[in-house]
Amino acid sequence: DFSRDEELPEDLKELAAVVVMGGPMGVYQESIYPFLKDEYFFINKIVEKRIPYLGICLGAQLLAKSLGAEVKKNKAKEIGWSDVTLTDQGVVSDIFLGLPDALRVFQWHKDTFNLPDNSVLLASSDLCKHQAIRCGGNAYGLQFHVEATPEMITDWVKGEKPADANRIISESYDYYPELKKRAIQLYYNFNRLLL
């Protein structure tokens, strides 16, 4: 059951930041998940009020959709470990400060999004052009998962059963220490937007 248990806050003055994570639904499934319409409106207000926002996977797609961009099926499903490359704008962006120009990250998505108006592309990959974006001054969307641990990935793999499940799990233990360091740096960078 993916219904929302609590209402979204109406008084945005109490919010220091908003972080929206992933989920199994697509942003275009409003008829199945009607709360998505409220999410679009809420995120639009967050961006308008310049409250720091970090969207991961579905959270990035919700950001794009809430700002009027199309979310659609990607040309290929991305499941597993791959590299994303920062754009020139990404290299100098606050969110990727102190991180290398190419990052090995964990992917688990079938959708992608067009760039919203007034957004900046920060990272790309071979299979999915729009991997990270900035909208306005401090709203960020990451198509990839910086929060994924080997245990989480193992659970996801057991549920989905991709053909290369064993390799994905094995690589997760190999690549996770570096991902964890980079995730901590990225969270630190995002946290600086709150100051």
For the annotated catalytic residues, the residue numbers are 57, 145, 147
Q: Cα–Cα distance between 62 and 43 in angstroms, integer?
A: 8
CB of 72 within 8 A of CB of 111? yes
For the chain, what is the largest distance between any 2 Cα atoms, rounded to a whole number of angstroms? Answer: 47
